[in-house]
Amino acid sequence: MISRADVLSGYRMILGREPEDEGIITYHRQHENLSAFRRALLASEEFNQLQFQTRGESDIPFPDWEDLSIPRVVFMHSPKTGGTTLHSLLAGHFQENLICPERFNGIRNYPTGELAKYRLFSGHYDLASCHLIPGQKRIVTLLRDPVSRLVSLYNFLKAHQPDVVERNNWGLARLAAALDAEEFFLHPVTRSHPYIENGLTRALAGSLSLDIWPTIDESAPAVSVADAGERALDHLSGLAAFGVLERYEESVELIFDSLELPQPAAICRKMELSELMNETSNYRSIDIVHESSQLRSIIAELVHVDLELYQRALKIFDSRCQASVSR
């Protein structure tokens, strides 16, 4: 049996579109392995027809070079850094059909011609995937104290309703529901998860091995980023802008200035867990875990490279804020 993400990736890469519905996804998940699934798509009448379509008849758009001169806005959203709020602020400046629908890390699964039609990209991307987007790009991101980020991530995962977790096969959320916070961050699966173990550095220095971050893939090779901090900082410094959650208003101002967009009249916080637990059917009430000295010590082991990156990034952020005030 293959995963839901495998079916989505196969449809995007081979047929250039999304599956029709969840029933089709469930059907194709029954394939014995990826090879059998690929063979089924390649043997389909739809794929056969695609091979004979002319450029003008294809559903996959082909960019013209003038379009590619228009800079794309790309937001690298690390989970639990205040990114949904920034996404909402950015999306207000773009027509809906110009916003890429990919909100996880699946950019690499899209045809280039499909990506070329969008002007705003916003999702849980790694930097390597961002560079696959054609044309000029203005890439921005948000950081957060790495330990606080993971405490928040644990609470977020644990608050999901069990049926949501099972429907999406989010193994990381299933694990969070079964374990207390200390057990969760001491678990070997958690300690090797690419979005948790120095996840900020991984996203900036290389690539993340998962398309959908709350899932678990124990077959993915564990790549050390112990020596990647300097590279991650260089890449971070080279982005159009970055901000930090702990100084959100200043961050939004710097990011919008860098993108040459008008400053938001107000910042309305989105996806705050206290509200989600009360207002939507996808979440349940939990006892929120707060950071303790013991929990911080456990998590700090997992994010020692991220912690150094964050402290050095704060100095750059301070310098840019001061420069912005003096202009």
**For the chain, domain boundaries:** 4-52, 69-142, 146-246+254-326
Q: Is the pLDDT of residue 67 over 80?
A: no
Q: Is the pLDDT of residue 107 over 70?
A: yes
**H or E element, residue 44:** none
pLDDT of residue 54: 42
pLDDT of residue 50: 66
Range among 38-47, 218-227, 288-297 rated most confident: 288-297
Asked if residues 162 and 99 have their Cβ atoms less than 8 Å apart, the reply is no
pLDDT of residue 228: 96
Distance of CA 268 to the CA centre of its chain: 21
- DSSP 3-state of 89: helix
The residue whose two tokens read 């950019």 is: 107
State the average pLDDT over residues 3-18. Answer: 83
d(CA 268, CA 286) in angstroms, rounded, equals 24
Asked if residues 69 and 136 have their Cβ atoms less than 8 Å apart, the reply is yes
Helix axes 304-326, 229-237, angle to 10 degrees: 20
- DSSP 3-state of 283: strand
d(CA 145, CA 159) in angstroms, rounded, equals 21
CA dihedral 71, 76, 82, 83 (to 10 degrees): 60
Distance of CA 45 to the CA centre of its chain: 34
State the average pLDDT over residues 75-98. Answer: 96
Q: Check residues 11 and 56 and name the one with the higher pLDDT.
A: 11
d(CA 137, CA 132) in angstroms, rounded, equals 10
Q: Is the pLDDT of residue 58 over 70?
A: no
Among 56-70, 148-162, 200-214, the range scoring the smallest mean pLDDT is 56-70
Residue 99's DSSP bridge partners are 120
State the average pLDDT over residues 202-225. Answer: 90
Band (35; pLDDT cuts 50, 70, 90): confident
Range among 48-62, 183-197, 260-274 rated most confident: 183-197
Q: Is the pLDDT of residue 48 over 90?
A: no
State the average pLDDT over residues 13-36. Answer: 84
State the average pLDDT over residues 225-234. Answer: 96
pLDDT of residue 55: 43
State the average pLDDT over residues 191-217. Answer: 94
Asked if residues 225 and 202 have their Cβ atoms less than 8 Å apart, the reply is yes
